Structure 1
Amino acid sequence: MLTQETNPTLLQTRQHFEVLDGLRGVAAVAVVIFHFMELIKPDYHDNFIAHAYFAVDFFFCLSGFVIAYAYDQRIRQMGISTFLKLRLIRLHPLVVIGSVIGLLAFVFDPFSTLYQKYADRIIPMFITSCLMIPYPLVKERYFNLFHLNPPTWSLFWEYIANLIYVLFLVKINHKILWLLTIAAAVALAFEAHRSNFLGVGFGGDNVMGGGYRMLYSFLAGILVYRSQWIIPSKLGLVSLSILLLLSFLIPFSKHTSRLVDPLVLIFYLPFLVALGAGATHHLVYQKICKFLGDISYPLYMTHYPFIWLVLSYMEVKKPSVQEMVVVMIAGVILLILFAYAVMVLLDIPLRKYFTHRLKRGWTKS
């Protein structure tokens, strides 16, 4: 017999903010370009999109906004367990898929024998990647928390944010939310001063920086929603994409980033979320926004193993910058197509399967 706590209608989602979906996709594409540019121009001073690591903070802020919007009024009926199951169904298939792709790319890399050095630890490397247990190991490749699929570091913090939300943040009043957000902003500014910038969190030697980035941006997103700082405007996807990209294109300077980075994260990115939530929805861009929103997470979670292959290729073949620009352009296009295929053939079917299993469990209760 169905009860209020186990009603399948709780699986139904509320309407999307289409422009925010589009912006999430734009940010994901920018991340891919940024990772290519890290190979082509390792010195951030020469990287035209050096601040695209802000995309992760935009994701965190957007996540806080959307989670609060979707679940603030439903947690009591839904319960903690159902919320966590829904988040796992939404996020975890691509964590495992990305780990499998990363494993295959690492083992069968035609340009590198680095795998042989870590052959005896490949199984724990894969298991920890699938379970999102940090395992910084490969110092030759930036000492990532998750070498097989480095972007998993942000999902690690996203899961923690979701857990904190359902256990604590969903219950707190507005004053406490403000105090926590201010405290997180102070911690973020401290991290920027300590590390000289905020492109941190991915590696074993800067892991806590990722925690500060997640905490502030996620809280700020919740604050934007609960304060109803939704700014109505005639701005659409194109205008707001330009505003978002402007933050990624800020020239990098080790002398100013400790000040610029926290200012952008603390004020500008939440402002863009508020603008995006109130932006005019143009029907002509509806399909574009949907495609960008749909593709954003699969692209983010499947692209990096191929970045490792490109790096191995560069180490062996020593291509020119001009050749690498061509590789980057072709690579971005191919990775978008690959992510779309993964989404259609694997991610969506898996999510539908587990959602169906969840509904069946309810009907038997």
Structure 2
Amino acid sequence: MTTVVLGTARAAGNRDLLGLLGRTPLARVTVDLPGPQPGFWAKLEGFGVGGMKARAAVAMLLGARDRGELRPGAPVVESTSGTLGIGLAFAGQALGHPVVLVGDIELEPSMRQLLGSYGVRLELVDRPAAEGGWQAARLARLRELLTLLPDAYWPDQYNNPDNTAGYASLAAELTAQLGHLDVLVCSVGTGGHSAGLVGPLRRHWPGLRLIGVDATGSTIFGQPARPRLMRGLGSSIHPRNVAHGAFDEVHWVGPAEAVDACRRLARGAFVSGGWSTGAVALVSAWAARVHPGAVVATVFPDGPHRYLGSVFDDGFTTAHGIDPATAAVRPVEIPHPRAVEATGWVRCRSVTGPPATAPEQQP
């Protein structure tokens, strides 16, 4: 295990920062993905302070404070592949809590530097667990830290209902910005933003269809867990926040498809992002094509800057055997999530939850 100490957050909060949260723009995306498509709406959370997950981070810390689980000035400890870490850095500064994050050595150097610049203490595990991969290894180190920091609070983003509740503001913004919505496409990792959006939006538009977008190698929707190159979506564990019953269908997307979509977005629409953005853009364009006249919307969780050394780097993609030219142009449909192991773009209209024997993540 590698430990990197990059600074300490200010003990005093700055609640004025909370006024910067949200109110992100909505863009119309009509670029070919990979072929012509009538267009969809993308909520650009990368333009918000702290990115999309700042909404969840603030909600989780405020909820814990209200319940007395997080004492004033106490540290916050969480596992992250990066995006929630930025959100927690924002929430920690706003509310006056030092933040300790457990990442892994595959976390990009630029993200390590950025978290350090925000005053976060970062710990990196140096090997994946035999079962559960990097995610399980990070959680194991997190549990050790909780014994060393008895006053620390673990938000447990995978299972914390405040994660979901934090996206009420995002739902309200979409409702105000869109006159109508037929199809919502959401990437799924912790399950927070899909669950947090679909309830309020279906109360407003009862016929709304929800399409989940997962990564190949993720076990959220019944596929076997495998090592995953794509970060920000997918999981090697079974988060309780995922509202399996709310989804009408699920798509698994591979790295080649996500890279190709991200690069097409950057060249033709200017707005782009990382793995999650590419994956949801691809599926949103597909949904707009197969549902003529439907209003389709999705959420781009962050911008492209974190991914300049990966998604947008030819050396990286070549080293990892990713050729955007081989990206699928349409999904392969399977009858059940366990029928075939997805290695590229796969669609399934049968959505199932985790097996009853799936282990829960507890501190």
TM interval, shorter chain, is: under 0.3
Q: Identify the structure with the greater strand proportion.
A: 2
TM-score under structure 1 length normalisation: 0.24
Higher RCO (CA 8 Å, separation ≥ 6 residues): 1
* Structure holding more helix per residue: 1
